[in-house]
Amino acid sequence: MINSNLSTLMGSRRLKVIDVARELGVNRSSIDLLYNNQAKRVDLETLDKLCKFFECTPNDILNFTNEDK
């Protein structure tokens, strides 16, 4: 299972979904789905923007575990 750590990254900087979406110029729902760990797919351009914004790698935003829900 792939999980999103975006809420943790945003929480550590006290950022809101709308603020990140505006800063990156991406749809709010894309950020909201990742934030709430409900995204079924991730656009690579959005992932690239998130990595640049948080100065991190995709591994810091997404993680893989062998466990199912």
CATH number at residue 35: 1.10.260.40
pLDDT of the residue at 67: 77
pLDDT of the residue at 69: 56
Q: Which helix (H) or strand (E) holds 4?
A: strand 2-4
Is residue 58 within 8 A of residue 51, CB to CB? The reply is yes
- Please give the angle made by the CA atoms of 19, 27 and 43, to the nearest 5 degrees: 115
pLDDT band at 30 (very low <50, low <70, confident <90, very high): very high
DSSP β-bridge partners for residue 62 = 4
Residue 42 lies in a domain: yes
pLDDT of the residue at 58: 97
| Domain, as residue range, for 49 | 2-55
pTM: 0.90
Task: Provide the domain count of the chain.
Answer: 1
State how far the Cα of 40 lies from the Cα of 3, in Å rounded to an integer: 10
Q: Token pair for residue 53?
A: 């914004």
